[in-house]
Amino acid sequence: MLQNKIVVRYMDGQLLKGVTSDFFPNKDIFHVMPADAPQGSKPMELSTKNLKAIFFVKGYEGNPDYKDKKEFDSGKAPVGRKIKVIFKDGELMVGTTNGYQPGRPGFFVVPADPNSNIERCYVLSAATQEVAFI
């Protein structure tokens, strides 16, 4: 079973690092095995209700000093539509999407910066202040 490394961000700022193998955008519940869980632990059941976003990451550590670029590489044509997302907490994410539609509970964004630790992000629409194609 494919396991994705994720960082779950809650709207209140909390975060949870772990792996999931059953996240689907059309389901409200999924399971996460926390990264620091002892061997043999059972996964936690999470609801998307109070989440800001689910970041599918390359690694848990990342680089805290690295700031993702908010521009696209002019030498490469982006895959999908360019989008900017401003979360209610003020965070700005710039990337591409293939599935944004107003009124849906969420959508995936691939960051514009190819060096980002984030491979893709599932944005919960309820946590956004503004979403716009660019």
Q: Residue 64: what pLDDT?
A: 81
Compute the distance between CA of residue 15 and CA of residue 7 in angstroms, rounded to an integer: 7
Beta bridge partners of 95: 83, 111
Tell me the per-residue pLDDT of 1-23, one tens digit each, with 9 for 90 and over: 678 999 999 999 999 999 999 99
Residue 121's CB: how many other CB atoms inside 10 A? 25
Q: Are 9 and 15 in contact (CB under 8 A)?
A: yes
The sign of the CA dihedral 18, 24, 28, 30 is: negative
DSSP characters for 94-105? EEEES---TTSS
* pTM, two decimal places: 0.94
| Proportion of the chain above pLDDT 90, given as a percent | 82
pLDDT of residue 100 exceeding 90: yes
